[in-house]
Amino acid sequence: MARHLACGDHLLSLDGPRVMGILNVTPDSFSDGGRFLSRDAALRQAWHMVEAGADLVDVGGESTRPGARGVSEAEELSRVVPVIEALAKTLPVPVSVDTRTPAVMRAAADAGAGMINDVCALRGDGALAAAQQTGLPVCLMHMQGEPRTMQTEPRYKDVVAEVRGFLELRIHACLRAEIPRERLLVDPGFGFGKQLAHNLSLLRHLDQLVSLGPPLLVGISRKSMIGQILGGRPVEQRLYGSLAAAVVAALAGARILRVHDVGPTVDALKVIRALHVDERGSGY
């Protein structure tokens, strides 16, 4: 596994788990939709996350919650590009773009984005070519179905084996498209076409996904699986459950944790890092 990730003008160390702060510039995301639609609000939130310890900030202009409506390419561009351009000029950490749209990938890269985070694993028309042309790292996520219908009775015979097999195929597709392995990350896609039992099985067996080779990105923060485990807790009451899941993922080998609550997650990871520091002061 790569120890560093070249994200545009930034070099992201992966010698331990890192925190990716979520910045949704959308009106309908499941947790914070509508809160950061204006450019100034988005910039304030990004800086708040960096000051809390975020190692990178992930900007998304299209909600991919279950049942979410699609947005036009023009609308997504207008939401995402001005924010990324402003952040890339000022933030001391890389900015990632959360998109499945090739035109947005290219425009975000031109605006200064340092990474592409695609929930469709570059399966869209033209996505492989667009990602290759940007020269940026890409996170490949597993999703069964598509956002509007993905939670309509998702089924697996062996969810771990099927997710692993899918990600392996997408890695090979990227290699054929001349996107080198050192630019790839993988994400099991918690909550994307998966029921609670599927999500828990993936969390128990993350080591099987780590063994694929590329750094593992995990996004569980505030998701419905946490709410279900906690007896139906609403989004705003899922912090402690989210932290527990983040710690489990980090101990299993996840290298990037995509979260809403940056400060508490950073604190939890400091405890994990302390456990991995030897007597000479060397960490992971």
pLDDT value for 147? 67
The tens digit of pLDDT for each residue in 61-111 reads 987 766 667 789 999 999 999 999 999 999 999 999 999 999 999 999 999
**Residue 281 belongs to a domain:** no
Does the annotation count 44 as an active-site position?
no
Residue 240 lies in a domain: yes
Contact between residue 33 and residue 42 where contact means Cβ atoms under 8 Å apart: no
Residue 30 lies in a domain: yes
- Closest by CA to 216, choosing from 167, 154, 271, 266, is 167
Tens digits of residue pLDDT in 148-185? 665 667 889 999 999 999 999 999 999 999 999 999 99
Closest CA to 215 of 249, 263, 166: 249
202 belongs to a structural domain: yes
> Does any domain span residue 40?
yes
Q: Is 200 inside a domain boundary? A: yes
If DSSP codes are grouped into helix, strand and coil, which group holds residue 98?
Answer: strand
Alpha-carbon distance values, 195 to 4, 40, 169, 182 (Å):
33, 37, 23, 32
Say if residues 58 and 83 touch (Cβ distance below 8 Å).
no
Which residue range(s) make up the domain with 134? Answer: 4-275
Q: Let me know if residue 284 belongs to a domain.
A: no
Q: What is the mean pLDDT of the chain?
A: 91
The band of 207, judged by pLDDT with boundaries at 50, 70 and 90, is very high
Least confident residue range of 65-79, 126-140, 191-205, 208-222: 65-79
42-47 long-range Cβ contacts below 8 angstroms, 24+ apart: 42/83, 42/87, 43/83, 43/86, 43/87, 43/90, 46/21, 46/83, 46/87, 46/91, 47/91
Q: Which of 18, 65, 222, 258 is catalytic?
A: 258
Count the domains in the chain. Answer: 1
Residue of 164, 223, 238, 255 with catalytic role:
223
Q: How far apart are CA 55 and CA 283, in angstroms?
A: 17
Position 30 scores a pLDDT of: 46
Per-residue pLDDT at 36 = 61
- Is 258 part of the annotated catalytic residue set? yes
The CATH code of the domain that includes 175 is 3.20.20.20
Q: Per the domain annotation, does 183 fall within a domain?
A: yes
